[in-house]
Amino acid sequence: MKHLYPMGYHTSPYWQPTPIIYNWSYPPQFRAYSYPEVNPDLFNQSAIAMQKLMKEASLVLKKIADSKQFAMKLMSAAQESNLAQVDELIKSTGISSKVDTSYTPDGIKLKLSSKAGDTDCCHLTISMRWRQS
């Protein structure tokens, strides 16, 4: 009888993995992880601070949406890289939070920040386009 396969060739079309043999003389060790106690105080303060940021963001967006003249001034100042005027215009909407402003030829990004006590907890970023790419 002739062999259809070369010597040493495995005739099964499926790979058979080598079985893993466990040493059962040593039982597996599991460690229970204890989680820290939950204290929602800072989380609640952060939520309150974030609500304030969202109200202030709404003021800025309302001013831009309602006044084309304001929007034009803001765009012009940003495109001329007049950061002081951009910050002044943003503050003129009535917000009191810290605002970091950055802009490109295509749009503007406002990052409003707030603290809960002494902790820097909350950031709200608004990105808007004023030009299609």
The burial class, CB within 10 Å (0-12 / 13-18 / 19+), for 95 is buried
Stronger pLDDT, 94 or 4, i.e. the higher one: 94
Give me the domain span that covers residue 70: 42-129
Q: Would you say residue 83 lies in a domain?
A: yes
Q: Would you say residue 14 lies in a domain?
A: no
Do residues 25 and 90 touch, judged by C-beta distance below 8 A?
no
List, for residues 2-61, the tens digit of each pLDDT value.
Answer: 556 566 555 666 666 666 666 666 666 667 778 889 999 999 999 999 999 999 999 999
- pLDDT band of residue 102 (cuts 50, 70, 90) is very high
Predicted confidence at residue 124, as pLDDT, reads: 96
Q: Would you say residue 120 lies in a domain?
A: yes
Residue 111 to residue 97: CA distance in whole angstroms: 10
Question: How many domains does the chain contain in total?
Answer: 1
